A = this chain, B = another copy of it.
Amino acid sequence: MTLSDTVYERLRTDIVQGRFPPLQPLRLEQLKRDYGVGFSPLREALNRLQGERLVVSAAQRGFRVRSLSVAEMWDAVNSRILIEAEALRLSIDQGGDDWEATLVASFHALSLIVQRLGTGAADGADTAALEELERRHREFHLALISACGSTWLLDFAAKLNTETERYRVLALRCATLRRERDVGAEHRAILDAALARDPERAADLLDAHYRETGHFLEQVLQDAGTAAS
């Protein structure tokens, strides 16, 4: 693990977590001090983040955090539906026993932490638990498509996941309203369809799941926007 890799991951999470506001210039001198590294690993990390579309750069003008908007959120959500629905169909077609095993396991791990958070401490307070929730959520959705056999689709899905994660984090920050629908039930339905080897039903459920999440995020962002203005 090189310094570049470390800085890359730290910058990545800091951007996804919204530590740097969108469109804010990322000053190298400041990052140098904050992360305690030289220019080289910083610039290498930023160049990689550009490929993931987390930052944008203009020649001689350095790097900025990429913007956020409702329109861009829907672009990411729709693209994600297209790619993950197909990857899920392929996984259902090609996945073996080991795939089913990791699928059930990751769903169970997700259910456990959802239950714990639902019954346990106050919501929003325990950031560590929320990060663990996000991690297991990502693991479950990754497990669904992990047997698709396409490195490109998995690559694209990962990029779109981090992109949409930026919006989920933002929603958690400024969400006063609670989520009405039962996301756990949606996950279970997708799992059931996958285990039943029904590609079309599974893909449709995944589509609806992401679309619902998109509507939820849109509502939160708009409420936050009007509340802020």
User: Contact residues of A with B, CB < 8 Å?
Assistant: 1-2, 4-5, 39-40, 43-44, 47-48, 50-53, 59-60, 72, 75-76, 78-79, 82-83, 86, 149-153, 155-156, 160, 163
A214 to chain B, nearest CB (A): 14
B44 pairs with A151, CB closer than 8 A? no
**Which of B40, B48, B152, B160 meets A79, CB within 8 Å?**
B152
Q: Copies per complex?
A: 2
What residues of chain B lie closer than 8 Å to A52, measured between beta carbons? 51
A155 to chain B, nearest CB (A): 7
What residues of chain B lie closer than 8 Å to A1, measured between beta carbons? 59
**Chain B: CB-nearest residue to A85:** B82
**Chain B: CB-nearest residue to A60:** B2
A40 to B4, CA, bound (A): 13
A82 pairs with B79, CB closer than 8 A? no
Q: Which 9 A-B pairs have the closest CB atoms?
A: A51-B51, A79-B152, A47-B47, A44-B47, A2-B59, A47-B48, A75-B150, A82-B86, A156-B156
What residues of chain B lie closer than 8 Å to A156, measured between beta carbons? 79, 156
A11 to B41, CA, bound (A): 20
A163 to B155, CA, bound (A): 14
A76 pairs with B152, CB closer than 8 A? yes
- 17 pairs across A/B with beta carbons < 8 Å? A4-B47, A40-B40, A40-B43, A44-B44, A48-B48, A48-B51, A50-B51, A53-B155, A75-B149, A76-B152, A79-B153, A79-B156, A82-B83, A82-B153, A152-B160, A152-B163, A156-B156
What residues of chain B lie closer than 8 Å to A4, measured between beta carbons? 47
B151 pairs with A72, CB closer than 8 A? yes
The answer to whether A75 and B152 touch (CB under 8 A), given A48-B47, A59-B2, A82-B86, is yes
